[in-house]
């Protein structure tokens, strides 16, 4: 394969991928110039083809496809669960300048800042705050739980994007049941083995809009992908 890195005024660097067919396997490398936007468009074309025209809800489909694009995992076509009004409630919050709260710096870094600015939204991750670490050590609980408590003080509508810590979901459930908060949306997609499926199930039983990845799969990248999909739809 021949690869060339080029720069054009105003476009930045991108790669030329020159096509050829590998024999005898028959793999094809795409021969046209692949800018990032071209690569993304081609990726979504492949995703749509491999999904085989499955009849997704029109509002849920962009979220499902964005997560598959991020993970290359088609299981998300089946394990992403949406409350009945999750998308419409989320879009209303975003258009009203909601705050996005994540449970990791990684998720925060993966959310499109230009799209946030366009909607007048703010984003926060309190995990690295000194007062959060101090309180967690004092009470013997996770920083994720304490960061959710801190987020409960935000006055604006809040969308919680949890991709790592099930203890964040458990704390949100406690705060909601005590009447301390009423989130605009909870994105519950922590990954792992301990309290992961249980915390997701608890969120889905609340009378709060949610997008949840059933089972053990998820991650900060999934949380960011869902937020980005919603921002692009708003």
Are 104 and 208 within one domain? Answer: yes
Active site residue 124: no
For residue 1, the Cα-to-chain-centroid distance in whole angstroms is: 34
Distances, alpha carbon 84 to alpha carbons 79, 159, 176, 178, 184, in Å? 15, 16, 19, 23, 13
Is 188 contained in some domain? Answer: yes
The dihedral through the CA atoms of 159, 101, 115, 119 has a sign that is positive
Determine how β-strand 80-82 pairs with β-strand 210-213: antiparallel
Residue 15 pLDDT greater than 50, yes or no: no
Are 97 and 184 within one domain? Answer: yes
Which of 69, 124, 135, 174 is an active site residue? 69
Cβ atoms of residues 70 and 80 within 8 Å: no
**Mean pLDDT of the residues in the chain:** 90
Question: pLDDT (tens digit, 9 = 90+) per residue, 187-213?
Answer: 999 999 999 999 999 999 999 999 999
Is 191 contained in some domain? Answer: yes
Are 152 and 227 within one domain? Answer: yes
Query: Which domain, by its residues, includes 48?
Result: 3-55
Are 51 and 82 within one domain? Answer: no
Question: pLDDT (tens digit, 9 = 90+) per residue, 166-175?
Answer: 999 999 999 9
Is 126 contained in some domain? Answer: yes
Give the pLDDT score at 209.
Answer: 98
Beta strands in 122-206 (DSSP E): 122-124, 158-162, 185-188
Is 60 contained in some domain? Answer: no
Question: pLDDT (tens digit, 9 = 90+) per residue, 87-135?
Answer: 999 999 999 999 999 999 999 999 999 999 999 999 999 999 999 999 9
Are 39 and 93 within one domain? Answer: no
Give the pLDDT score at 98.
Answer: 97
Cβ atoms of residues 166 and 196 within 8 Å: yes
Is 69 contained in some domain? Answer: no
């Amino acid at each position: 394969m021949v690869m060339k890195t080029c720069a054009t005024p105003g476009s930045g660097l991108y790669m030329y991928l020159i096509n050829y067919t590998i024999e005898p396997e028959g793999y094809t490398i795409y021969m046209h110039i692949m800018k990032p936007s071209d690569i993304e468009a081609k990726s979504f074309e492949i995703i749509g083809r491999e999904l085989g025209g499955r009849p997704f809800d029109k509002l849920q489909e962009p979220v499902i496809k964005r997560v598959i694009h991020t993970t290359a995992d088609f299981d998300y076509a089946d394990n992403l669960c949406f409350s009945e009004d999750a998308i419409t409630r989320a879009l209303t919050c975003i258009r009203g300048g909601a705050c996005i709260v994540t449970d990791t710096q990684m998720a925060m870094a993966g959310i499109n800042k230009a799209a946030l600015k366009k909607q007048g939204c703010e984003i926060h991750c309190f995990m690295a705050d000194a007062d959060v670490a101090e309180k967690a050590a004092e009470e013997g609980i996770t920083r994720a739980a304490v960061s959710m408590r801190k987020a409960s003080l935000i006055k604006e509508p809040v969308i919680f994007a949890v991709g790592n810590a099930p203890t964040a979901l458990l704390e949100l459930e406690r705060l909601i049941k005590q009447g301390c908060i009423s989130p605009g949306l909870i994105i519950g997609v922590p990954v792992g083995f301990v309290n992961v499926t249980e915390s997701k199930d608890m969120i889905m039983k609340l009378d709060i809009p949610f997008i949840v990845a059933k089972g053990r799969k998820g991650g900060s990248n999934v949380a960011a992908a869902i937020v980005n999909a919603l921002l692009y739809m708003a």
